Structure 1
Amino acid sequence: MKEKEMILLVDENDKEMGYGEKHEVHKKGLFHRAFSIFIFNSKNQLLLQKREKNKYHSPGLWTNTCCSHQRQNEELSDAIHRRLKEEMGFDTELKEAFTFSYNFKFHEELSENEFDHVYIGHYEGDIIPNPQEVEDYKWVDLEELKQDIEKNPDKYTYWFKICFPKVASIMEK
């Protein structure tokens, strides 16, 4: 039997408040810590992933390179590297850029209520995505991506559409 994944619950100031089982946290809409990773190449293109079609929420949607949650007895600095390797098959240096909070109800039984830490990194090597997590991936120019999000917002995850403009403005400086 698969062990239940326990994720970190926080308050509105990101103060640790305990842990909850991942699926229960999302069913109850409990406020928890998350992270989103944005990887760029030397052409300043963003590495997007398309979420696997059987994911429990936002399946088949394009989003940032990697995102997940800090687990029980794990430091955030370890979680970001663990998950980048698990999802995309590589690791690289990451720097925290900013944080934001959001609350979104996907449907009657599932929501995200997160304090999200956003990290930016650079990478040029091989990408070996985990097929259980990632259906597809691509490098995209920022201007092309901005236009596509405007024309086709339903192709992208909710949280990505919130934080991408700030990431883009950082990368365009």
Structure 2
Amino acid sequence: MSAFEASVPERVVLCGPDGQAIGTADKGTVHHERTPLHLAFSCYVFDARDRVLMTRRAHTKKTWPGVRTNSCCGHPAPGEPMPDAVSRRLRYELGIVAATIDLLVPAFRYRATMPDGTVENELCPIYRATVADEAVVANPDEVAEAWWTPWLAVASESGAESDRLSPWSLLQLEALRRLDGTPGTWPVADPADLPVAARS
């Protein structure tokens, strides 16, 4: 566990509509019916065969428990560079040490509401990670299960599947489908296009 996981409480970066950081808040108090806009990230992990690591969120998670989703999501700590946050959470949630971490979609933003009214409201850049070792050690506090699947099978999904993807993953698939080439050849985005709060 890193110093960030060990710190109490974990804090997230609050953002204004222009992407500027406007403060921080205890992560445990942020998600509710009026969740403020805050900084996050999503990561899709690929192996050499263009398989993507999919996960199911732990059933104890406050937001979207048990839902099938992308490889890893998280929140950078105040002042933490985004690639460092991605690397940290990959190790913590999945026991993965990434060979590469690349920015794909700098300005992704979404808002989604659970049936109980809990809201996710995030500036959430999308990253690609690659691995040489496909072994995964899922942290049960975060991940109920994890499995490798061909990217094309995931990329073709829509909201109609019976075991639906998380709302952010469905939106992110739309963004990733617009990229040229296959996952291993997708162009790397310019970090200067990140929200200002994410340019640590």
Asked if these proteins are the same fold (TM beyond 0.5), I'd say: yes
Residue from 9, 12, 22 that aligns with 1:17: 22
The root-mean-square deviation of aligned C-alpha atoms, in Å, is 2.0
Given that 2:83 and 2:101 are in contact with CA atoms closer than 8 Å, whether structure 1 keeps it comes out as no
Where does residue 122 of structure 2 map in the other structure? Answer: 114
Rounded to whole Å, the distance in 2 between the matches of 1:153 and 1:164 is: 17
Given that 1:142 and 1:168 are in contact with CA atoms closer than 8 Å, whether structure 2 keeps it comes out as no
Listed as ranges, the gaps of 5+ residues in structure 1 are none
Cα deviations by residue, 1:25-66 (Å, 9 ceiling, x for unpaired): 212310000100011111111111111111111111111110
Listed as ranges, the gaps of 5+ residues in structure 2 are 1-6, 187-200
Rounded to whole Å, the distance in 1 between the matches of 2:110 and 2:163 is: 18
Where does residue 128 of structure 1 map in the other structure? Answer: 137
Where does residue 10 of structure 2 map in the other structure? Answer: 5
Q: How many residues align?
A: 172
Structure 1 residue 3 displacement after superposition? 2.5
Where does residue 191 of structure 2 map in the other structure? Answer: none
Q: Percent identity?
A: 24
Given that 1:102 and 1:114 are in contact with CA atoms closer than 8 Å, whether structure 2 keeps it comes out as yes
Structure 1 residue 167 displacement after superposition? 2.2
Cα deviations by residue, 1:66-118 (Å, 9 ceiling, x for unpaired): 00111234232321111111011012120111131111121455211110011
Where does residue 104 of structure 1 map in the other structure? Answer: 112
1:137-152 maps to which residues of 2 (within 5 A)?
Answer: 137-152=146-161
For residues 155 and 4 of structure 1, do their structure 2 counterparts lie closer, same or farther at Cα, with a shift above 3 Å needed?
Answer: same
Query: Which letter does structure 2 place at the counterpart of 1:60?
Result: G
Q: In proportion to residue count, which structure has more helix? A: 1
Given that 2:68 and 2:163 are in contact with CA atoms closer than 8 Å, whether structure 1 keeps it comes out as no
For residues 111 and 23 of structure 1, do their structure 2 counterparts lie closer, same or farther at Cα, with a shift above 3 Å needed?
Answer: farther
For residues 106 and 23 of structure 1, do their structure 2 counterparts lie closer, same or farther at Cα, with a shift above 3 Å needed?
Answer: farther
TM-score when normalising by structure 2: 0.78
Where does residue 30 of structure 1 map in the other structure? Answer: 36
TM-score when normalising by structure 1: 0.89
Query: Which letter does structure 1 place at the counterpart of 2:176?
Result: V
Given that 1:9 and 1:18 are in contact with CA atoms closer than 8 Å, whether structure 2 keeps it comes out as yes
Mean CA deviation greater in 4-13 or 45-54? 4-13
